[in-house]
Structure 1
Amino acid sequence: MSIDEIVTAYHAAMLHKSPDELADLYAEDALHEFPFGGPPPFEGREAVRTGYRAMWGGSAFEAEEVRRVALHRTTDPEVVVVEQNTHVVAAGQRVTVPGLLVLRIRNGRIIHTRDYMDTSAISQVRAATAP
């Protein structure tokens, strides 16, 4: 898969809240990190699958749209930076969650992700869906 195809498929997995679609984009020994907080790193494709199944399966929000704002290629041909906005509905409240993905892609698979999400927007989503 090309970088553009991987980013498009990544966003589709987010929209569908599909841990299987997402994990299938990763190399077997990949690493997915959340530098601004959140869960501990997911080490390996199956940890990505399990981690996202727990996160998305236990959340009461629905993704309406995942919009690619920009795709920045770097001087390293394996690394791209994706600016994105995820529009979600949580308990009837619409929230936009801005984010950045720093992806290292090798041989058509993601080998490393740094997943930066706007923590204040994530807090809004959690507050809206709290019991």
Structure 2
Amino acid sequence: MTESTLTPGPREIFERVRRHWLENLGGFGNELAENAVVETPFAPPGMARRHEGKEAFLLFSGPEQAAFANRFALDEVRDVVVHETTDPEVIVVEYELAGRVLATGRQASSPFIGVLRVRNGKIVNWREYQNTLAMIEIIGQPQRT
């Protein structure tokens, strides 16, 4: 948080999300605004690319994250680079998720780019660009919606 305000900005919120991922993979729902929009433009065919509202996203992501956590242990969120924008509500974040495939112990990682818009201390839009083919190779084919 900046010294001039008690409301966390996008950098602080991303850091909270990062901690949530490491403590409880995917457990960052408290950082989402009720009307948040979460987008994954490069989702594989058959997978939803846009979730409108916190509840809709959590209904989708809960089973997906549980399945992921049953197959993969996240050890670190590394190579984080935060890019400020001219809009104080928005940052662009580059990062890499790294960990182990539980069945084999194999180390694996995948890069991501996130565009976050935070308003009043909550995420109102998260657009995540990920290498879906790398993720499928690491943990297997995602379930279809």
Measured against the shorter chain, the TM-score band is: 0.7 to 0.9
Q: State the SS of the aligned residue for 1:58.
A: helix
RMSD: 1.8
- Could you tell me how far 1:18 is from its partner in structure 2? 4.3
Structure 1 unaligned regions, length at least 5:
none
Q: Which residue of 2 aligns with 1:104?
A: 117
- Could you tell me how far 1:50 is from its partner in structure 2? 2.1
Q: Percent identity?
A: 33
- Could you tell me how far 1:111 is from its partner in structure 2? 0.4
State whether structure 2 residue 26 is matched by structure 1 residue 11. Answer: no
Q: Which residue of 1 aligns with 2:33?
A: 27
Could you state the TM-score of these two structures normalised by the residue count of structure 2? 0.79
Where does 1:1-131 land on structure 2 (aligned, <5 Å)? 1-19=8-26, 21-38=27-44, 39-40=47-48, 41-59=50-68, 60-90=71-101, 91=103, 92-127=105-140
Task: Sort the Cα spacing of 1:68 and 1:17 in 2 relative to 1 into closer, same or farther, 3 A.
Answer: farther
- Could you tell me how far 1:108 is from its partner in structure 2? 0.8
Could you state the TM-score of these two structures normalised by the residue count of structure 1? 0.86
- The structure that is strand-richer by fraction is 1
CA displacement, residues 31-54 of structure 1 (integer Å, 9 cap, x when unaligned): 000011143122111122222211
Question: How many residues are treated as equivalent by the alignment?
Answer: 127
Q: State the SS of the aligned residue for 1:24.
A: helix
Q: Which has the higher contact order (CA 8 A, sep 6+)?
A: 2
Structure 2 unaligned regions, length at least 5:
1-7
User: Hey, what's the Cα distance between the residues in 1 that align with 2:33 and 2:10?
Assistant: 14
User: Hey, what's the Cα distance between the residues in 1 that align with 2:110 and 2:14?
Assistant: 17
